[in-house]
Amino acid sequence: MRKDPLSIMEEIFNALEKGTPFSINGLSKETGIHNVTIRKYISIIEAVRREEGLEVIRTSHSVILRIRKE
């Protein structure tokens, strides 16, 4: 069964927020998400983080994104 993209992102961030560094395969084992899917979502995360005005705010329960307008 296919997972919702938002739930995939949440699972990836929840695993990473534990503070343990993971390889792609390690993150795949931790989340149960296929390693090809992990690789694709990491590419998306990297592309979004390159946006200069993008602010990522992490709280204990969520990740908040916003674009700063100057």
The ranges assigned to domains in the chain are 5-67
Query: Average pLDDT of the chain?
Result: 86
This prediction has a pTM of 0.68
Tens of pLDDT, residues 17-69: 998 888 899 999 999 999 999 999 988 888 877 767 777 788 888 887 777 77
pLDDT at 11 over 80: yes
CA–CA gap between residue 37 and residue 8 (Å, rounded): 9
pLDDT at 6 over 70: yes
DSSP reduced 3-state for 57: strand
Q: Which two tokens stand for residue 45?
A: 């995360």
DSSP reduced 3-state for 58: strand
Q: The domain 5-67 is classified under which CATH number: 1.10.1220, 3.30.110, 1.10.10, 1.10.3470?
A: 1.10.10
